[in-house]
Amino acid sequence: MDNQAVGRRVWEAVGGEKNVNSLVHCATRLRFKLKDESIADTQKLKNDPDVIQVVQSGGQYQVVIGSNVSDVYQAIVDEQGLGEGASSESEDTSKNPLNRLIDIISSIFTPFLGAMAAAGILKGFLSLATVLGWLAAESGTYQILFAAADGVFTFLPVMLAFTAAKKFKTNQFLSVAIAMALVYPTITQLAGSGVAVDFFGLPVILSQSGYTSSVIPIILAVWVQSKFEPLVKKVIPQFLQMIFVPMIVLLVMVPLTFLVLGPIGTVIGNALGGLFNSIYSFSPLVAGVIMGSMWQVLVMFGMHWGFVPIIFLNIEQYGFDVLMPMLLPAILAQGGAALGVALRTKDSKLRSLGISSMITSFFGITEPTVYGVTLPLKKPFIVACISGGIGGGIIGFAGVKAFSSGLISLLTIPTFISTDPALESSVTMAIIGTAVAFVLGFVGTYLIGFDEEVQDEKLEATETTTGDTISTARQNLKSPLTGKVLPLTEVPDKVFSSGAMGKGIAIDPEKGELVAPADGEITTIFPTGHAVGLTTTDGVEILMHIGMDTVELNGEGFSTFVKQGDKVKAGDLLVRFDIEKIKAAGYSVITPVVVTNTDHFADVLELNQQEIIANEDFLAIVK
């Protein structure tokens, strides 16, 4: 996959700089906040062979790429000069409160999911190492590795402060300074000692662990900071702002957080955690069945982010979480269903995708599995959801607990290990519940089957408005020009209009620049600059003829930027030409672009466009 090309196509399809408010990514998705989602070309993205799916949920426009999403994200950031991502001063206040809340949570937690997942897995493996006697908890090796694993969770408010400040558009370093005050060792020691603390006689309420590993207090504090800081800037002269604005913000926000915001956040957190745990206490079995069966549906719509704070709050308040283990069967059940599809299907591409997506599900990445395999076929997705519910019920009934958080996958099983003798069977039950879900997903899909004709459009075909079929083994060429698209039959030259030179289309250019439609080699360029031949790296031979009879201009009005034998990339400038000068000389500038070795391919198809810009997809080569 050419990450830069994919990023460019996605960026153009969502509407580019004029339509993007912000961009972040998670494990598999590019998450855009768009000014107007109707501007985005959703169908074009869904037809893109490198895009798994498009999801519009939670106020976000999500483009599912897969496991290499970070590379595509970085390509967009680098090419568009976004720094850490696009942003806009405008904020969409039209979203309903639930969507806004989900957007805030996902924007705050997404950036450090990788670090958190790695730390959680490491913490689990350290627990396994001590239980098996590989490492002594008193050893220096263990202490150093445990610091690497536990540091993320102990100082979680610091990471949350940084990402929340970016979300709320306030000074990130001041936000971090507030978070550091919350987890300052002396404060933590005072909280643990139970000694009464006051601030100028006002009582400071601290929980026994202080604010280490806390979530809501620092998010509330940063949100208030984002409202307070601009007010301070309004009253402080510009030449004094560098010192006095940060000082006033710290002097006000740190005490305010300890006195008011921290306790409020703690109460909210305890209430949320208590609500879930009340439901769990009523029936762990029912809770497991519901969460195991519905989790992938929640993930599809981005609503799973609402449960992320509950996991953190449970670990902070109780030292463990019962929600994470219930969700593991839901993930592996999708992998089992994908394996069932792979072994039953007669389609080689679907079989390959089923096996590869099953493997990614082992590591907690289910979007390729869901969007690429089980959901388009419907029955496998339903089977997997039911299987996940059964596995979740087993785990819920067994009371399995996780002692650190992270990306839910097979690698998180060690986080279920406890030194408590009463929980010795937890890991065994977690493995059994997960295995049951995987096997049921596999067997159920294999036995029940699915409609072989219902295939994801990327696996089999995309129907165009002309009635033609584009196979997935295709190469999309980029437009070499910006202008109006015309059929070859309208080219005022019988050689081109008859198709004798090959299939293609014509463009009436609005801008006098011809660029490379694909990566390849310049095989022909006339001294007059009016025609260029290019062979792509995939063997497609393309002829671009600027205007009709323009060879008679002997190069006047044409400037070439390449020579025969040059290697070029898609979008590289090949020729610059003066449209007005050519027209003034009495020549047409309609430019046919044809594939001269059309007979080497199954078909060459138009994409039914009327206007086109350079570097936009415009021809599909069916192989």
Is 385 a known active-site residue? Answer: no
**Residue given tokens 């593991």 in the structure block:** 328
**Which pLDDT value is given to residue 99?**
63
**Which pLDDT value is given to residue 191?**
83
**Which pLDDT value is given to residue 297?**
81
Q: Where are the alpha helices (DSSP H) in 205-307?
A: 216-235, 241-256, 262-282, 284-300
Strand order in the sheet with 60-64: 20-25, 29-34, 60-64, 53-57
Question: Tokens standing for 325?
Answer: 């283990």
**Which pLDDT value is given to residue 97?**
66
Cβ atoms 336, 441 nearer than 8 A: yes
**Residue given tokens 């979480």 in the structure block:** 321
Burial classification of residue 232, based on how many CB atoms lie within 10 Å of its CB (0-12 exposed, 13-18 middle, 19 or more buried): middle
How many CB atoms sit inside 10 A of residue 38's CB? 8
Contact partners, residue 535, CB within 8 Å, separation at least 6: 520, 521, 523, 541, 542
Output the pTM of the full model: 0.51
**Which pLDDT value is given to residue 352?**
81
Using DSSP, how many helices (H) and how many strands (E) does the chain show? 22, 22
Alpha-carbon distance of 603 to 466, in angstroms, equals 13
Cβ atoms 47, 13 nearer than 8 A: no
- What domains does the chain contain, in order, with CATH numbers? 3-88 (3.30.1360.60), 102-277 (no CATH), 283-299+318-448 (no CATH), 474-622 (2.70.70.10)
**Which pLDDT value is given to residue 435?**
95
Q: Which of 502, 505, 501, 539 is nearest to 520 (CA)?
A: 539
Alpha-carbon distance of 413 to 400, in angstroms, equals 10
How many CB atoms sit inside 10 A of residue 567's CB? 12
Cβ atoms 250, 178 nearer than 8 A: yes
- DSSP secondary structure string for all residues of 46-79: HH-TT--EEEEETTEEEEE--TTHHHHHHHHHHH
Mutual angle of helices 284-300 and 323-344, in 10-degree steps: 60
Alpha carbon separation from 398 to 284, 286, 384, 386, 390 (Å, rounded): 8, 12, 21, 19, 13
Alpha-carbon distance of 143 to 141, in angstroms, equals 6
Pairing mode, strands 461-463 and 573-577: unpaired
**Which pLDDT value is given to residue 472?**
41
Contact partners, residue 344, CB within 8 Å, separation at least 6: 445, 446, 449, 450
Which parts of the chain sit beneath pLDDT 70?
Answer: 1, 26-28, 57-58, 67, 83-103, 106, 113, 117, 208, 272-273, 300-306, 367, 371, 419, 421-424, 452-474
**Residue given tokens 């409202």 in the structure block:** 227
Cβ atoms 368, 52 nearer than 8 A: yes
Looking at this protein, which amino acid is placed at residue 240? L
Angle, CA of 343, 347 and 348, to the nearest 5°? 80
Q: What tens digit of pLDDT does each residue of 511-535 get?
A: 999 999 999 999 988 888 899 999 9
The CA-based dihedral angle spanning residues 170, 171, 176, 181, taken in that order and rounded to the nearest 10 degrees: -90
Alpha-carbon distance of 409 to 404, in angstroms, equals 13
**Which pLDDT value is given to residue 460?**
41
Helix (H, G, I), strand (E, B) or coil at 502: coil
Question: Tokens standing for 154?
Answer: 């102990």
Cβ atoms 471, 623 nearer than 8 A: yes
Exactly one of 6, 10, 20, 26 is catalytic; name it: 26
**Which pLDDT value is given to residue 462?**
36
**Which pLDDT value is given to residue 459?**
41
**Which pLDDT value is given to residue 451?**
73
